[in-house]
Structure 1
Amino acid sequence: MQNGPAVRRRKLGAELRTLRTGTGLTSGEAARLVGWHQSKVSRIETGASGVKPADVRLLLDAYGVREGQRRELLLMLAGAEEAGGRSRWWHAYRGILPPTYRDFISLESQASGMRTLETTVVPGLLQTPEYARAVTRAAVGGVDDERLDALVEVRLARQDVLHADPPLELSAVLDEAVLRREVGGPEVMARQLDRLLETARLPQVRLQVLPFDAGAHVGLTGPFVIFSFPSTSDLDVVVLDQLTSSLYLERKEDLKAYAEAFDALRIHALSPHDSLDYIAGIGDGA
């Protein structure tokens, strides 16, 4: 269990070590190829220290990795300002976003897939501006209007991943409580339900509702997010969001447990088609 930056360092280091051993090079030989001391390669591979994008490029060139999604992803994990056409736009909000939130956005922007269980609020990627404002105002006590505006801007800017090329593949399971809780009042909630119906029709979005009559389920322990990345499952990570921080789980046994839990939730939830009808019924006051 690590914070976000540590997870990325460890995963980046593990990938670089795999690439190095695949070429038959020792860490000392790799270091000599790029003009470093062997200890620097070791620190990078164990995640003990950060690494600049320029250093990652040197290693990838030395290992013969010149094209493809893996190179782009590893450069993004190292903090490259732009890779695969996705810029690090959230840096403009560095002064108002806590590090854990910035790292979550970074992972979200790099991921190819996202599986999420929500038990209290609509996922950020599916929120309307009015709903996002109401949620943010409630979550961040005493925030002034200027900072509130900026935080809402960030929430809405994150939604661009659903329209990127390629777009993020989103699979979301929503507890019925998410749909019944009138965040921002009836009018705001009505527009939010319409937005869910609209977004759920995108080909890369799969939305399912877990109705109250499904009874007890594994999701009662709380919401979670599973990020998946292109080319390799070794970079997948689970995020558990808490009030003041986020926990990142990267062990294979944790990933397996949460993936199985999500699959079980999807089985207990309504089908995507029936979920749209259910949401529409709530919106109509049924």
Structure 2
Amino acid sequence: MQHGPAVRRRKLGAELRALRTSAGLTSGEAAGLVGWHQSKVSRIETGTSGAKPADVRLLLDAYGVADDQLRELLLVLAGSHDGAGRNHWWHAYRGELPPTYRDFISLESQASAMRTLETTVVPGLLQTPEYARAVTAAAVEGLSEERLDALVEVRLARQDVLHADPPLVLSAVLDEAVLRREVGGPGVMSRQLEKLTAAADLPHVRLQVLPFAAGAHIGVTGSFVIFSFARTSDLDVVVLDHLTSSLHLERKEDLEAYTEAFNSLASHALSPEESLEFIAGMTGGT
């Protein structure tokens, strides 16, 4: 279990090592191509030391990596603010966001799929502006109106990944408590439930409700997110979010355990169709 920056170094190093091997190069030969000592390549590949975006570009060029999506992801892992493809909009809010939140957003923006269990609030990608404001104000007391506005703007801007090309594939299991908790009052909650229904109509969004009737389940210990990457499964990561920080789990055993847990929760939850009927019943819809 590690914090974001450390897990990113290890994942970046592992991917660069795999690319070097695929290129048929030893670490010494790779170092010679970019004008480094072999020990620098080794330190980067083991995650002992970080790699600057410029260093990653040199290695990717030496290995003949032309895949723009892969290059972009690796540059993000190296801390690039201006990768080859997407606009890293969240850096405009750098002074407002803690590093762990910026890490989360960058992973979210580059992932091809996201599986999430939520036990307390609606996932950020599916929140209405009013709901996002109420949640943010409650979670971080004493915020000025200006900072609150900025954090809500970030929350809403994150939702663009659901409308990108290609969009993020989102699978969400929501505990019934998420739907019952009146965040912001009845009016705000009613509109939030309507947005969930609308989001579930998107072909790349799968929404399931885990009713109270399901009893105790593996998710009672807390919410989690699993990010997956289409061409680089070794970069998949589980994120456990806490009040003041996030923890990242990237060991194969952790990924397998949380994947199994998510699949188990999904199997005990209502089907997507039944979930929409459940929400409709709460809103008085048909």
- State TM-score, norm by structure 1: 0.97
Q: Is the 8 A contact 1:2 1:247 kept in 2?
A: yes
The code of the aligned residue for 1:109 comes to: S
1:285 Cα shift? 8.5
Q: Is the 8 A contact 2:71 2:84 kept in 1?
A: no
The code of the aligned residue for 2:164 comes to: A
- Helix, strand or coil at the partner of 2:225: strand
Q: Which runs of 5+ in 2 are unaligned?
A: none
> What residue number does 2:276 align with?
276
Q: Does 1:109 align with 2:109?
A: yes
Q: Is the 8 A contact 2:44 2:50 kept in 1?
A: yes
> What residue number does 1:262 align with?
262
1:65 Cα shift? 1.2
CA offsets, 1:130-174, max 9 Å, x none?
Answer: 000000000001111110000000000000000111100000000
CA distance in structure 1 between the aligned counterparts of 2:66 and 2:255, rounded to whole angstroms: 30
- State TM-score, norm by structure 2: 0.97
Q: Is the 8 A contact 2:133 2:152 kept in 1?
A: yes
Q: Is the 8 A contact 2:68 2:84 kept in 1?
A: no
CA distance in structure 1 between the aligned counterparts of 2:84 and 2:229, rounded to whole angstroms: 13
CA distance in structure 2 between the aligned counterparts of 1:131 and 1:7, rounded to whole angstroms: 32
CA distance in structure 2 between the aligned counterparts of 1:220 and 1:226, rounded to whole angstroms: 17
- Helix, strand or coil at the partner of 2:142: coil
The code of the aligned residue for 2:74 comes to: L
Q: Does 1:94 align with 2:97?
A: no
Q: Count residues with an aligned counterpart.
A: 286
- Helix, strand or coil at the partner of 1:117: strand
Q: Is the 8 A contact 2:171 2:207 kept in 1?
A: yes
Q: Percent identity?
A: 80
- Helix, strand or coil at the partner of 2:202: coil
1:70 Cα shift? 2.4
- Helix, strand or coil at the partner of 2:59: helix
> What residue number does 1:35 align with?
35
CA distance in structure 2 between the aligned counterparts of 1:57 and 1:244, rounded to whole angstroms: 33
Aligned counterparts, 1:54-65, within 5 A: 54-65=54-65
Q: Is the 8 A contact 1:69 1:230 kept in 2?
A: no
> What residue number does 2:128 align with?
128
CA distance in structure 2 between the aligned counterparts of 1:279 and 1:51, rounded to whole angstroms: 47
> What residue number does 1:151 align with?
151
Aligned counterparts, 1:97-246, within 5 A: 97-246=97-246
> What residue number does 1:44 align with?
44
